[in-house]
Structure formats: C-alpha cells, structure tokens
C-alpha cells in the first residue's frame, strides 16, 4: 500500500468549497484502486488566519510543509478584507518561491459537453510548460527622472539554468505524449534573450531525437492556437508568453473554473504544489455553485506527479463523462451544485488495470 502525505490548504473563498469535495474524490479513487491511500493534513492559512494572527501562514510554515509528498491548494485572496499584495505574497507566492517551484504546467483540453468559442475544438489537447521563476517577470529595472522626462527600464532575465530546465522538461513531457514540442519565441523582435532561448531549444533537442521540435513566433503561435488548435501537443514558453498562452488555452476550453495547474519543483528538494488556475471567486463564494472540476483536475495532475497515472486517468475520464452527461455547474451552462458535480465524478470513477 502506497501512502501519500498531502498538505491541504483550502485558503479563501471558493477554495473552501472545492477543496473538501476534491479530497472526497481522491479518497473515493483510492478506495476503488485499493493500493494507495492519502493522509491529508489541513492548514487553516489564508485571509481569516491573517485577520486573526496578523500573518497569512505560520512563521515556520514553509518548514512544516517540507515533510509532505505534495501540497494541494485551493485559492488565496479576499480583496475586500485583505489587500491582494499581502495575501498572495504572504502565502501563495511565498510557497512558490521558497520551494523553488520553477515550472508552471497547465494543460488545456476540450471536453465533451463544454461550449468552446471555437467552431471545431475536437482534438484540442495541449500542455503548456511555462518558465515560472524569471524571464519578463523580473524586478530588474527602475524608473528615473520623475516628471516630464521620466523613463522606465524593465529588464527581462534569461539564465541558461532556468531556460534549459523549462525546455528540457518540455521535451521530456512531449516524449511521454504525442512527441511534438513547440517553442514559443520572438527572436525576430526580441534580439538578445529570444535567440538565446532558441539556441538552448536547439541544443537540448539533440537529447530527444524522437521529439518533433518546432519553434514559432508567439504572435503566429497565438493565432494558430485558434485556427488549428489540434496541431499542438506540448508548448514550452517563457514566463510572459506562457502566461498569455495558458489564458488562451483556458478560453478555448470554455471556462476558467475547469483549468488546472501544477507548480513543479524539479530538483526534488521541496514538494510541488497543485492549485487550479482560478482564484477565490468572492462573487460566488458561499452559494455552493463553484465549479469543482478545476480543483479535481488539479488533483489528477498531483496524482501524475506522484506516479499514480492510472488513478489520475480514471479521474479525468470521470470528469469528462460527467460534463458529457450534462451534469455541470452554472459557469459552463448547467444547474448542478459543487457537491452534486463532485459526487457524480466520484460515482463515475472506475478501476483501471
């Protein structure tokens, strides 16, 4: 029996609704498969905790998390009561940075029963590997000459280490999927960092002769994702490009409420963290109508990370068969509640050899 120790941080808003039902789904899957079990340890960190204790998490919170196999997080943010820069930086970003979760992995895929804005979204099934530690999102730069002649300089930072790490992960993942990797570039306009990125992309390709590698300028790539979405498999991108492409992927799927994400630590020194793309949705919190599928799919990514592929696959199949049967929350055109959708997913999980 494999036993996994999972740290659970429901966080704020609908995180407190979608995380508990996701634990039910995981427990149900474990019962079906009978060879793995989960021990969940819940942490009450978030904005309520901040208002009571003056901090988003315990001072030794990071050390407390170190002993777990993975972290499952809901969402952070209660902007009416705690400013976002305090809540997000005090918990979510603190964990990502301290635990060197340097890659952000976001799949997007068409499910039967979802309404995509594209006419023909069939066979849309991609995985975006986004560099998550540097790139265009850097603090290097500044503003001078305040006033009329003011100027701002924003430096993008590309290190060989981080670029190679993201690109190599992209090749590995493509090798495990359809064997196609696309690199998002813009070396025709960004003349230092992007040619560097392209060079590394080419170098690492030598290690993966079986992966078909292509590079595409980000503007054309965005257009192709709309005009021929089925042609992509894995896309590797810098921080900014990956951020934009994953929102586009979510839009093609039909709702932010179903999009999952993983923050991966690749050196094995710290646990990885799994959290859906959506936030705490204060506008619908407390009504029992939040879509739990993003959180449940996120749990599936956690299972893949732990090596429980069959169990993960059975959860994804159960999600798809639930939407195909029309059992959906309001955001994707149904009238079922959070709990009803999750219960339906549980009922549809089947053991796989």
> Which residues, 309 to 338, sit near ligand NAI by CB under 6 A?
329, 331
Q: In this complex, which beta carbon is closest to ligand NAI, that of residue 182 or of residue 291?
A: 291
First to last CA, the chain: 16
Asked if 75 touches ligand NAI (CB under 6 A), the answer is yes
Q: Which does 249 bind (CB under 5 to 8 A by kind): ligand NAI, Mg ion, none?
A: none
Among 77, 121, 229, 242, binds ligand NAI (CB under 6 A): 77
| Angle, helix 309-324 to helix 15-33, in steps of 10 degrees | 120
Q: In this complex, which beta carbon is closest to Mg ion, that of residue 8 or of residue 236?
A: 236
Whole-number minimum distance, CB 282 to ligand NAI, in Å? 6
- Please return the burial class of 175, using the count of CB atoms within 10 Å of its CB with bins 0-12, 13-18 and 19+: middle
How far is the C-alpha of 83 from the C-alpha of 77, rounded, in Å? Answer: 8
- Strands 103-109 and 36-42 come out as unpaired
Q: In this complex, which beta carbon is closest to ligand NAI, that of residue 232 or of residue 271?
A: 271
Asked if 275 touches Mg ion (CB under 5 A), the answer is no
Query: CB nearest ligand NAI: which residue?
Result: 77
Whole-number minimum distance, CB 50 to ligand NAI, in Å? 12
Tokens of 51: 């208002």
**Dihedral sign for Cα atoms in the order 351, 68, 6, 304:** negative
Whole-number minimum distance, CB 57 to ligand NAI, in Å? 13
Among 12, 243, 331, 340, binds Mg ion (CB under 5 A): 243
How far is the C-alpha of 333 from the C-alpha of 301, rounded, in Å? Answer: 25
Query: CB nearest Mg ion: which residue?
Result: 243
Give the three-state DSSP class for 9.
strand
Q: Which does 238 bind (CB under 5 to 8 A by kind): ligand NAI, Mg ion, none?
A: none
Asked if 279 touches ligand NAI (CB under 6 A), the answer is yes
How far is the C-alpha of 283 from the C-alpha of 304, rounded, in Å? Answer: 32
Query: Within 10 A of 161 (CB to CB), how many other CB atoms are there?
Result: 11
Instruction: Give the binding-site size for Mg ion (rule: CB under 5 A).
Output: 1
How far is the C-alpha of 245 from the C-alpha of 322, rounded, in Å? Answer: 27
Q: Which residues bind ligand NAI (CB under 6 A)?
A: 14, 75-77, 79, 84, 88, 92, 256-257, 275, 278-284, 290-291, 294, 329, 331
Interface residues with Mg ion (CB under 5 A) are 243
């Amino acid at each position: 029996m494999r036993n996994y120790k999972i740290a659970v941080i429901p966080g704020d808003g609908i995180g407190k609704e979608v995380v508990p039902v996701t634990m039910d789904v995981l427990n149900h899957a474990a019962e079906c498969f009978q060879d793995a079990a989960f021990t969940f340890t819940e942490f009450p960190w978030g904005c309520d905790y901040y208002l009571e204790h003056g901090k988003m998490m315990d001072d030794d919170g990071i050390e407390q998390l170190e002993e777990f196999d993975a972290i499952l997080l809901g969402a952070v943010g209660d902007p009416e009561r705690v400013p976002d820069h305090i809540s997000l930086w005090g918990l979510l970003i603190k964990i990502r940075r301290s635990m060197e979760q340097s890659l952000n992995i976001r799949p997007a895929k068409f499910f039967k029963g979802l309404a995509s804005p594209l006419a023909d979204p069939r066979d849309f099934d991609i995985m975006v590997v986004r560099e998550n530690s540097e790139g265009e999102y850097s603090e290097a730069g500044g503003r001078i000459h305040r006033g009329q002649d003011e100027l701002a300089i924003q430096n993008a930072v590309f290190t060989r280490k981080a670029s190679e790490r993201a690109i190599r992960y992209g090749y590995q993942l493509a090798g495990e999927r359809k064997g196609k990797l696309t690199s998002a570039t813009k070396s025709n306009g960004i003349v230092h960092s992007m040619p560097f990125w392209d060079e590394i992309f080419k170098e690492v390709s030598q290690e993966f002769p079986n992966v078909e590698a292509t590079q595409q300028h980000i503007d054309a790539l965005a257009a192709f994702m709309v005009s021929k979405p089925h042609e992509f498999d894995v896309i590797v991108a810098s921080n900014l490009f990956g951020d934009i492409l994953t929102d586009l992927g979510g839009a093609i799927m039909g709702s932010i409420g179903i999009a999952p994400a993983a923050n991966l630590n690749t050196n094995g020194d710290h646990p990885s963290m799994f959290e859906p793309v959506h936030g705490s949705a204060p506008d619908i919190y407390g009504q029992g109508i939040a879509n739990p599928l993003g959180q449940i799919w996120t749990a599936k990514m956690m299972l893949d990370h732990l090596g429980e592929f069959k169990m993960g696959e059975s959860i994804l199949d159960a999600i798809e068969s639930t939407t195909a049967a029309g059992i959906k929350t309001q955001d994707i055109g149904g009238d079922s509640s959070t709990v009803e959708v999750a219960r339906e997913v549980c009922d549809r999980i089947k053991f796989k050899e």
